[in-house]
Each structure stands twice: as C-alpha cells, then as structure tokens.
C-alpha cells in the first residue's frame, strides 16, 4: 500500500554504497538487492534500510537478522557485533546520510521537485491521485493532496489541508484542520534545510471527530495513529508517531509530543502537555493544565505539574495553602 502514499525511486544497495562512498567508514554486504524504502526498528520490512543511531542500538531486535535488509549505523561497537550476520554499513554522520538518502528516493511535499495535479470540485482542490469514496462530503476551501485515502461517509469541513493519510469511515473533520503535515524533527542548529524527511502517514480510524484548528503530523517513518471513536476538541496538536487509543476524549489546547503511546479510554482536560516518547496506559484520566513527564500506569487519575496521582496533588495544594500560598 506504500505506493499509494509515496512514489519511490529504484535504488540498489550497491548503488547506495557507491553514492555515499565518502561518508562510509566500513561496510559488510552479504547480498545486493533493490531497496524498496526505509523502515523502522519497530516495523522492519524486507528489502529496506533501517537507520540505527547510537541512541537506538538498545532497541535493536536480533530477529531482524532474518530479514533481507541493511542496517545503517554510526555506532562502531554495534557494527562490529553484527557485521558477520547481516548487511550493515558504518557511517560517519547518520543524520546526513538519512536526510540525503530519503530526499533522493522520496519526493515529499518538502522537496522542491514535489508536484501534484488538482481538480476543483465545489470550491475545494482535490488531487487526481487521492482515493476518496463517493459518499465523502467536502466543504469549500479545502485541499486534499495525493497520498490520501478517505473512506465512506466522512465529512471534511471548510479550509482543511489533508495529505499522506488514511481516514476511516464516518469521521467528522472540523474547520481549518491540518492532517499529515511534516513532523518536528531535525538535527539542532542546522535550520530548515536539514529537517528530517517524514515518509510516514496519519491513520485515523472510524467514527472520530477532529476539532477545529487541530494539527496532526505524519510519522517520520511508520504512522501517527488515532483509533476508533476518539474525539479531539479544538486547537490540539498531535506530533509525529503518536498513537491515541480508541474511545479517547481530549479537551482543547492540549499538546502531545512525538512518539507518545496512549492506551484506550484516555480522558484529558484542556491545556494538558505531554512530553515525548512516553507510554500512557489504558483508562487514564488527566486533569486540566497538567504536565505529564513520565509514564502513567493504567486506571490512573493524575493532575498537576509534574503530573502525580490526583490525591497526592490535592494534598500538595492543601499544604501550599496552609503555608500561605494562594
């Protein structure tokens, strides 16, 4: 299904090593193949490249060795441990290789060569390559780009921008929503030219409501996922690679940082902030204006900053008042 969302240039592993020869410190190639894209450690795919930086080597699963793929790493010890068992390349600057290679084989909307072909329908511009069911209602002023699949009976209101996504059935997308925008990922202090290419998508399940002015970033590689029956209030930001479980409700002005995993039946008050790469288990409730900085176990109710069990938070407030704080 990847070819629905992105067109990929053909590139052999041998061509890859020749292209980046000056950036390669050492190399071990057991078998050449045509590269069919890039995959993540979490969802490895045959005939792809996986980038394993020094910060991610602990996440590596030895079962990946069974796949036909190539690892790109900047960790010398990691390279030595696996060079006899799998295609692996040791590079000097993994961020540079990642950006250059993805920009070479993927042409996203951040690339100067990006093109799309639109037709105007009832005041909106719809890509000829978007796959939209006939029962979908699109109000005027929206832009639906290529790389979109939109299922039955979904309603998209005025002035939305939608790209690189799969939207399920019976959803309501309120005004001025952006779905599939580029996520916030880059090497520090290098500017827009080095923003990491985002080649993932957004997946929205069935029977969801996305409030006005929400922004949902597409994933860096895999998917940003909002599951069935989830309701988002207005002015919410969902960063790249986030998962929000089914039957969740999130109030306005909440910000969820990248790679957060939220379980089913999540309930959040307004103006909540959630730090990146956390896990929030199922049936969690969060009081308004809380700041979550650590993992939250299932069936918890938390409040405050940093967020703690709500009963602990209430005692903190009482003690503060006893000590003269208003």
Q: Round to whole Å and give the CA distance between 224 and 90.
A: 30
Both tokens assigned to 285: 């409730």
Secondary structure (3-state) at 247: coil
What are the distances in angstroms from CA 189 to CA 186, 192, 195, 198? Answer: 9, 9, 11, 19
Q: Round to whole Å and give the CA distance between 205 and 224.
A: 11
Beta bridge partners of 26: 90
Q: Round to whole Å and give the CA distance between 231 and 251.
A: 9
Say whether the peptide bond before residue 306 is cis (omega within 30 degrees of 0): yes
Q: Round to whole Å and give the CA distance between 50 and 55.
A: 14
Cβ atoms of residues 180 and 186 within 8 Å: no
DSSP secondary structure code for residue 220 in this structure: S
Containing H/E element for 231? strand 231-232
Strand pairing report for 124-127 and 143-144: parallel
Beta bridge partners of 268: 250, 286
- Return the active site residues: 240
Q: Round to whole Å and give the CA distance between 278 and 261.
A: 6
Q: Other CB atoms closer than 10 Å to residue 274's CB: what's the count?
A: 23
What are the distances in angstroms from CA 244 to CA 178, 202, 214, 260? Answer: 17, 12, 14, 8
């Amino acid at each position: 299904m990847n070819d629905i969302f992105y067109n990929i240039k053909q590139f052999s592993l041998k061509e890859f090593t020749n292209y980046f020869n000056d950036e390669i410190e050492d190399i071990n190639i057991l078998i050449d193949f045509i590269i069919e894209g890039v995959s993540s450690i979490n969802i490895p795919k045959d005939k792809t490249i996986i980038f394993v930086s020094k910060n991610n080597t602990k996440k590596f699963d030895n079962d990946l060795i069974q796949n036909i793929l190539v690892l790109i790493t900047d960790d010398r010890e990691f390279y030595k441990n696996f060079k006899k068992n799998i295609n692996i390349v040791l590079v000097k600057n993994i961020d540079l290789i990642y950006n250059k290679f993805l920009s070479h084989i993927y042409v996203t909307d951040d690339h100067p060569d990006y093109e799309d072909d639109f037709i105007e329908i009832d005041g909106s511009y719809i890509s000829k390559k978007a796959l939209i069911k006939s029962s979908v209602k699109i109000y005027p002023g929206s832009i639906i780009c290529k790389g979109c699949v939109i299922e039955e009976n979904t309603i998209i209101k005025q002035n939305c921008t939608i790209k690189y996504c799969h939207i399920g059935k019976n959803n309501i997308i309120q005004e001025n929503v952006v779905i599939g925008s580029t996520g916030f990922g880059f090497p520090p202090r290098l500017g827009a030219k080095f923003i990491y290419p985002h080649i993932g998508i957004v997946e929205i399940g069935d029977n969801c409501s996305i409030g006005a002015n929400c922004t949902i970033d597409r994933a860096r590689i895999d998917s940003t996922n909002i599951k069935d029956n989830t309701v988002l209030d207005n002015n919410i930001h969902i960063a790249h690679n986030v998962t929000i479980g089914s039957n969740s409700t999130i109030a306005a002005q909440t910000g969820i940082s990248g790679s957060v995993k939220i379980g089913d039946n999540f309930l959040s008050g307004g103006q909540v902030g959630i730090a990146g790469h956390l896990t929030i288990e199922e049936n969690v409730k969060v009081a308004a204006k809380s700041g979550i900085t650590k993992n939250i176990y299932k069936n918890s109710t938390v409040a405050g900053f940093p967020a703690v069990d709500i009963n602990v938070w209430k005692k903190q407030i009482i003690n503060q008042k006893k000590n003269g704080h208003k």
